[in-house]
Amino acid sequence: MEIVRLVLLVVHLLGFAALTGGILVQLREPTKRVNSLMRDGAGTAVVAGVALVGVLEADSDVQVDHAKIGVKLVIGLIILALVMMNLRRPRIPDGLFWLIAALTLANLCVAVFWAPAHGSY
């Protein structure tokens, strides 16, 4: 079960990295748009995150912080919805781009700074 957890964690982190990379690529572009990296990263991060929580729940030694997971899931789903709704548009407003970037950063901050109790996630 530990190897499954670690593989899902790596996939979750790769999804987040792809989303962040897609955002960073758009920083130097004068016209902001949603790119395929953002789409694939957001979807991968959400799906792998949900699967990761399922694996953690199956382990009786791990306490899952449901409030933290809920906040991360809601932010992740909002990011995914915004990305998917604007995927085919040739341009998105700068405010929407910065909202997606801010929500991505907020999700990272929740993951890092919402300190888990020892032995929990």
Per-residue pLDDT of the chain (121 residues; tens, 9 = 90+): 899 999 999 999 999 999 999 999 999 999 999 999 999 999 999 999 999 999 999 987 888 899 999 999 999 999 999 999 999 999 999 999 999 999 999 999 999 998 765 555 6
Q: Is there a domain that residue 118 lies in? A: no
Structural domain of residue 79, as residue ranges?
2-113
| Residues 55 and 6: beta-carbon distance below 8 Å | no
pTM of the predicted model as reported, rounded to 2 decimal places: 0.91
Q: Is there a domain that residue 13 lies in? A: yes
Calpha distance 79→69 (Å, rounded): 15
Q: Is there a domain that residue 119 lies in? A: no
Calpha distance 121→104 (Å, rounded): 19
Q: Is there a domain that residue 22 lies in? A: yes
DSSP H helical segments within 28-65, as ranges? 36-58
How many domains would you assign to the chain?
Answer: 1
